[in-house]
Amino acid sequence: MVLFALAVAGIVIAACLAVALVVGPDPGALLGTAVITGGIIGLASLYRISSLGSGGAAVAMQMGGVPVPEDTADPQLRRLRNVVEEMSIASGVPVPAVFVLEQEPGINAFAAGYSTSDAAVAVTRGALDRLNRDELQGVVAHEYSHILNGDMRLNIRLMGVLFGILVLGLMGRKILMYSGSSRNRNAGALVVFALVAVVIGAIGMFFARMIKAGVSRSREVLADASAVQFTRQTRGIAGALKKIAGVEEGSRFQQRAEAEEVSHMLFGDGLGLSGLFATHPPILQRIQALEPGFRSEQLERLQVQWRSAPPNGMQEDLAMGLAADGVAVLPDARSELAVTPPMVSAQVANPGDDDYRHADAIVATLPGELASFARRREAVKPLLLGLLLDDADAAVRARQHVEVSTRLGDGVASLAEELRAGPLLDLHPAYRLPLAQLAFPLLRMRPRPELEAFMDTVHAVVHADDHVSLFEYCLGRLLETQVREFLDPGRHARFGRRKPGNVKQEFATLLAVVAQAGHADPDDARRAYLAGMQRVLPRDHVPYAPPARGVLALDDVWEPLDRLDPLAKEVLVEAITAAAMHDGRVTVAESELLRTICGVLHCPLPPMLEDRKA
């Protein structure tokens, strides 16, 4: 913030000096120049922030990104989608939009967006060509660290704010490009103006690079460490860094103007800057943090080897036999898991290698028909609605059919019922959220009116009767939240600041509903409720009172609880866990309910809540 204030002051002073050289020390002219220059900076920042309001996909497309289709048959693109989908299932977030920067031969990637609902991951063509699957997974895990740790939101806001101090230099360059081919008699004056703008803009460039470097370097170190923590191995991300250092293209961007704006978001240094301006630690330093025994002499040998015979990632995969570790087995749907509240809260946005094995198992064993529906544009709405339909009450199902048919057509309603009565009827509970995560990228490709109609339909299906299960209610709410955030990502990006003492009644309502849903006996439910309240409000006495409206009472609690500060949310997750499983054990179905509730509150959990020390 100090550097930004210095940048604005420096640009304004430089502009005033330039005017003073032309018109002399005229106070009125200098004041006007200062006001106009400050106005340009402010308006440019507001304009850029507004242009980025569409979320991560807008940034990726501005960088020349090409969307990767969900049903692509290209082996490289299929491999990328598989890695991203497994990473999303493992971390408990929707699958982001996936892009390839086809014109970039360097090895690089970035994540952009305001939240997990509008996130986009972009990978260069060079990364697809050069990296094997382990290395690609390491790079994607690095980007998921930015998504889960909040860096992505910080980075996209930084893009908008810094544009204001860069705009004069950018204007000057554009004018110079235009005037070089212009025969206008005023071209000479334009060139002079442009040169002055470029010189003044250099002040903004200087401070912008220092700001980005100061923010980015520590976050990149954290992301490297998180990638290792997520995947539990260093060979992937370390191998990607070695190839960046060893191949001729490195991580440099061909489009330097675009790379300047997003340099702080990239996996590798896209501009070749060093010293104060370096947005990333030196490449050898990053490798040695992962492999302490690695030496510069080894890097030099790799450079010689790869510059004569560039690496081919797909060929390396074939040589390694691809899936050498096998596929993990999902636990029985009725089995119980040993968990504790602190252990569950510690897994929020913190997947590990066991979670990736579970994600592999889910993707590999997901019923083929349902996997096909999740990747078909016209089938995702019936599939998601089928997950919400009531199983037990025929009257409720009839009302739900009418609600869907009225808004989306009889074809969607009939297919949703067929899926519910068929492959969704006895679906393993561990598949339900992953199906929603896999289907979300195709859902958000729909036009805004269709998405709004879908949100309205989900709300109507969930509220068709007072006896909707807590899981169905929370899954519907999660879908609504994700679609709403995707439609207006900038508007829904928020930093929580509330404390537990300000939302006592909301805590009590949520914990009462959770306790009642998991315990048929009223005394057991009361004890579960008190176990949760003891975690979050130990000094307050809020009596157990199950809401008369049942799960529908939760409509009023989500927004206040979602605005809690991070430490309060950690306690909230522990409280929900304690209420849901006050006996210390939980079934797979109950763990999925817990994951869904936490998803609504932007606390994503991995697919299986097992004790990693066990």
The predicted-structure confidence for 358-397, as pLDDT tens digits, reads as follows 787 788 788 888 988 988 888 999 999 999 988 777 888 8
Higher pLDDT, 180 or 15: 15
Residue 99 pLDDT > 50, yes or no? Answer: yes
**The pLDDT of residue 323:** 43
CA distance 208 to 133: 35
What average pLDDT does the segment 75-80 reach?
A: 92
Residue 187 pLDDT > 70, yes or no? Answer: no
Catalytic residues: 143
Higher pLDDT, 224 or 324: 224
CA distance 307 to 242: 13
Per-chain mean pLDDT for the chain: 86
What average pLDDT does the segment 491-505 reach?
A: 82
**The pLDDT of residue 324:** 37
- Token digits of residue 10: 């420096």
**The pLDDT of residue 278:** 84
CA distance 195 to 461: 62
Are 60 and 99 a contacting pair, CB within 8 Å?
yes
**The pLDDT of residue 361:** 77
Q: 9-13, 186-190, 295-299, 570-574: which range is least confident on average?
A: 186-190
**The pLDDT of residue 611:** 53
Query: Band of the pLDDT at 27, cuts 50, 70, 90?
Result: confident
Kindly state the percentage of the chain with pLDDT values over 70.
93
**The pLDDT of residue 614:** 42
Residue 179 pLDDT > 70, yes or no? Answer: no
**The pLDDT of residue 320:** 62
**The pLDDT of residue 341:** 85
Task: Give the chain's length.
Answer: 614
Beta bridge partners of 123: 100, 109
Tell me the per-residue pLDDT of 234-280, one tens digit each, with 9 for 90 and over: 889 999 999 999 998 889 998 876 777 888 889 998 887 777 788 88
Are 443 and 381 a contacting pair, CB within 8 Å?
yes
Tell me the per-residue pLDDT of 527-577, one tens digit each, with 9 for 90 and over: 999 999 999 888 888 899 988 888 888 989 999 999 999 899 999 999 999
**The pLDDT of residue 183:** 58
Q: Is 446 exposed, middle or buried (0-12, 13-18, 19+ CB in 10 A)?
A: middle
What average pLDDT does the segment 319-334 reach?
A: 56
**The pLDDT of residue 571:** 92
